[in-house]
Amino acid sequence: EDQVTQSPEALRLQEGESSSLNCSYTVSGLRGLFWYRQDPGKGPEFLFTLYSAGEEKEKERLKATLTKKESFLHITAPKPEDSATYLCAVQHSSASKIIFGSGTRLSIRP
Amino acid sequence: ETGVTQSPTHLIKTRGQQVTLRCSSQSGHNTVSWYQQALGQGPQFIFQYYREEENGRGNFPPRFSGLQFPNYSSELNVNALELDDSALYLCASSPLLAIDNEQFFGPGTRLTVL
């Protein structure tokens, strides 16, 4: 069964303290792995799509990487405005269904 | 370009009632998906509509149904509401030629079932 597990559930960092969020996935045929950011009371906001192992994408202080079993979202020198829940999701190669993980709640202290 | 909009913002219903939630897709988007998000959880896929036809469904019972209209707006209908249906309901639209297969989410409708 297709599955997505994110860790840690919550992460508190000091401003400027770099770290990584993990997304482990099981899917029989990956069409794409997605990272979204969700602020309280809002819908998720698209960040990245990764398609194959070894692929990397960057946006400002965020960098997403992909292996055959997991993805990492690296955050470099975070700022308080990076505080949000980060969601990972996968799409099966033959289906429209997208499966989300439970997210990592990231809090950056000034 | 306007984003995805949803209505109403909040809704309170009682168990056994029926509810209709509405979504207006972003201009140029012909695919819409609906998700249920319980507190502290990730969104769960309910179903997707493409050109007014259902194009995939998650593990939700038939009392969850939907429609997509010619202007690509969409409705989610839930019959015989249960307490566990209390959640944030998200609509997401995608363009025909999505560069990164991305979805654009609306702000959601918060449904409370008493």
**Predicted local distance difference test score (pLDDT) of residue B27:** 78
Q: Over the stretch A16-50, which tens digit does the pLDDT of each residue have?
A: 999 999 999 998 888 899 999 999 989 999 999 99
**Predicted local distance difference test score (pLDDT) of residue A97:** 84
Q: Among B109, B37, B50, which Cα is nearest to B77's?
A: B109
A48 and B CB contact within 8 Å:
yes
What backbone phi and psi angles, to 5 degrees, belong to A104?
-120, 125
B3: Cβ contacts below 8 Å, ≥ 6 apart: B26, B104, B106
Which residue matches tokens 């998200």?
A: B90
Q: Over the stretch A89-101, which tens digit does the pLDDT of each residue have?
A: 999 877 778 899 9
Q: B52 or A35, which is more confident?
A: A35
What span, in angstroms and rounded, lies between the C-alpha atoms of B15 and B34? 21
Contacts of A42 in chain B (CB under 8 A): 107-108
What span, in angstroms and rounded, lies between the C-alpha atoms of B12 and A109? 36
| Interface contacts (A, B; CB < 8 Å) | 61
pLDDT band at residue A56 using 50, 70 and 90 as cut-offs: very high
**Predicted local distance difference test score (pLDDT) of residue B84:** 96
What span, in angstroms and rounded, lies between the C-alpha atoms of A50 and A31? 9
B93: Cβ contacts below 8 Å, ≥ 6 apart: B4, B23, B25, B26, B29, B31, B32, B33, B72, B103, B104
Q: Over the stretch B56-114, which tens digit does the pLDDT of each residue have?
A: 899 999 999 999 998 889 999 999 999 999 999 999 998 866 666 789 999 999 999 99
Q: Is B45's CB within 8 Å of A4's CB?
A: no
Q: Is B105's CB within 8 Å of A43's CB?
A: yes
Closest partner residue to A97 (CB to CB) among B50, B56, B102 is B56
Classify A8 as helix, strand or coil: coil
Contacts of B100 in chain A (CB under 8 A): 32, 46, 48-49
- Res A3 pLDDT > 70: yes
Q: In chain B, which ranges are E strands?
A: 5-7, 10-13, 19-24, 29-37, 44-50, 53-57, 64-68, 74-78, 87-95, 104-105, 109-113
Q: Is A87's CB within 8 Å of B56's CB?
A: no
A32 and B CB contact within 8 Å:
yes
